[in-house]
Structure 1
């Protein structure tokens, strides 16, 4: 009697054998689903970053509104425009001599009443609170008349530009807000000599400081202390 066939006597050997799928034979549908899941994960992770950029550059939250009014386009301080300065001794000071620094400018007659003194005090304090950046800012008092400046004011003006200027020429450069006079405001001039911001009458010193700090921070890559 012939011996039984080995394959028929072993049930394990009777199972059908199928080839394994190749590595590149994944279902196109499964591939698309995997990619879609990856994109969804990326979108969830990136959403806060995208939202912050949109709010900063597009929406611009209320807290970032300037306290001062931006002057567009900025108005240059130049001799070509007929603007000329003299110091208290009558010596000519060219507009170019003031360039190279941010200028915090006040305007008032030489007699300097109480409101003028408050402006000069505010001007001085604003520069001091800038800390290490204060050396990038100069104080300027423009006097549009020939009234004598009281000697008692001179110590506070030791580190400031105190200059006389023709009133008509000055009004062609700086302009007050509606219903105000030139002496109602502080003005900001950039290092190129362009008037670029006017602060409101009775401005909030804290908000002026914030404007100044933002501008100094934004310009620190190209503006250095001193001329």
Structure 2
């Protein structure tokens, strides 16, 4: 009969609803993912980013500590560099202990002069000030340091000169024997004859000639600051 269902009761037909089925898929093996092309590509990208960030530091230190361009330096490059001793005993003018670690983070232009600062000492402190000012906008990356290898106190006139606002000199007492184990003069010279340049990592790496030509020595400082511009910023 037209329109009648000729199938037997309970039998399946084309119009009968099929039960829903869910396919269960296994999760990927983490060990397989670790070696996947995507994983390897991600690692390479991360290594490339790290290499780009480290390149300026590596390049500047390779230039000065491996290539050692002594012919292009007016002063004497110290190779290997000499780390500032972590236990170097230093005190300020008030007798307070100053940790060596606190001097890191800036380039240091250091002099070694006794507390009884005579004419030669005053001239060196004046040249130290002029050298930093000659650096222009880069001077904020350099701190002036006066290391006194005795227990004396500088004259009031000298303290006023080195304490002028904006051009202050960091004045510290250091035992002479401990200081001489870190900084050293050229043969036949005294510690007080030189300027010493210490990098932001606390490494003594350049010594100026005795009684240097300020313009020539300033050119050395310019090169150092330019080579380190990618990783060294003003301030600690």
Is 1:127 equivalent to 2:144 in the alignment?
no
Task: Note if contact 2:116-2:152 (Cα within 8 Å) is conserved in structure 1.
Answer: yes
Q: What is aligned with 2:147?
A: 142
Residues 199-218 of structure 1 aligned to structure 2 (within 5 Å)? 199-218=208-227
More helix by share: 1
Secondary structure of 1:195's counterpart equals strand
Match of 2:173 in 1: 164
TM-score (norm 2): 0.68
Q: Which runs of 5+ in 2 are unaligned?
A: 1-62
The unaligned stretches of length 5 or more in structure 1 are 1-56
Question: Matches of 1:176 and 1:63 in 2, distance apart?
Answer: 17
Between structure 1 and structure 2, the one with the greater Rg is 1
Q: TM-score, normalised to structure 1's length?
A: 0.70
Number of matched pairs: 166
Distance in structure 2 (CA, Å) of the matches to 1:171 and 1:206: 28
Three-state SS of the structure 2 residue aligned to 1:173 is coil
1:89 is paired with a residue whose SS is coil
In the alignment, structure 1 residue 180 sits paired with structure 2 residue 189 = yes
Q: Does structure 1 residue 92 correspond to structure 2 residue 92?
A: no
- Between the aligned partners of 1:151 and 1:120, the Cα distance in structure 2 is 15
1:140 to partner: Cα distance: 0.2
* Cα shift at 1:63: 11
1:35-91 residue CA offsets vs partner (Å, 9 max, x unmatched): xxxxxxxxxxxxxxxxxxxxxx9xx9x996201101111111122xx4111000000
Runs of 4+ aligned structure 1 residues displaced above 2 Å come to none
Partner of 1:189: 198
Alignment of 1:64-79 (within 5 A): 65-79=72-86
The CA deviation at 1:165 is 0.2
Structure 1 segment 46-125 matched on structure 2, within 5 A: 65-79=72-86, 82-125=87-130
Equivalent residue for 2:46?
A: none
Shift of the 63–87 alpha-carbon distance from structure 1 to 2, 3 Å rule, reads closer
Kept in 2, the 8 Å contact 1:78–1:96? The answer is no
